[in-house]
A = this chain, B = another copy of it.
Amino acid sequence: MDVKTLCLGALSRGPASGYEIKKQFQEGPFAHFHDAGFGSIYPALNKLNQAGLVSCTAMEQDKRPDKKVYSLTPSGRLALVNAISQAPGADSVRSDFLFMLFFAHLLSARQVEGLLSDRVEWYRTTVARMKETACASAPERPGERFVHGLGIALYEAMADYIDDHRHELVGEILLMDQKAVAS
């Protein structure tokens, strides 16, 4: 899914400015499976506007810069439905964290412990924040609740696995370090 489709999706939940769309990608409900920066969102919105898939209304604001609020047009909604009706491509995950852990034997036990602790903490606080987010709203969007719950389940599984196995891993690294010193 390119940024244009992501914007269509964000706008299907209601009109928004580029700035607000960015926030949805960063902190909002999309945060956990897609991202985009200003440099791709603003050009995407302009192209969508030219193609007639969104409409744009300038809004003057008091003590704030002007806002351009975009809304999905009927053909925009159609384009979104069309895009999500194609067979999905494979998920792509790029995790420096897992790459680094994979080579844990090249790091010190301290480094590995730091990595694991930081990550677990991040998962725990993120899950707590996600659980607060009243997703009980939007009864007309069951997909949102499903994806939200799936995200929570995933992050909890991740944190649990790390907590259950971290001592094992760190212990082995510690042993290897001792042998290296002994030799």
- In Å, the complex CA distance between A144 and B100 comes to 10
Say yes or no: A91 contacts B88, CB within 8 Å. Answer: no
Contacts of A59 in B (CB 8 A): none
Q: Are B33 and A147 in contact (CB under 8 A)?
A: no
Cross-chain contact A96 with B103 (CB below 8 angstroms): no
CB of A53 closer than 8 Å to a CB of B: no
Contact with B along A102-116 (1 / 0, CB 8 A): 111111000110010
Residues of B within 8 A of A51 (CB): none
Known: A107-B84, A140-B105, A143-B105. A34 touches B91 (CB 8 A): no
Point out the residue from B102, B105, B106, B162 that lies within 8 Å of A30, measured CB to CB.
B102
A155 to B57: give the CA distance in the assembly, Å. 44
The residue in chain B whose Cβ has the minimal distance to the Cβ of A5 is B99
Given contacts A102-B147, A105-B143, 16 further A-B contacts (CB under 8 A): A1-B94, A1-B96, A88-B95, A91-B93, A91-B98, A93-B93, A98-B150, A105-B140, A112-B143, A142-B168, A143-B169, A146-B169, A150-B162, A153-B160, A153-B161, A154-B157
Specify the chain B residue showing the minimal Cβ separation from A112. B143
A5 contact set on B, CB distance < 8 A: 99
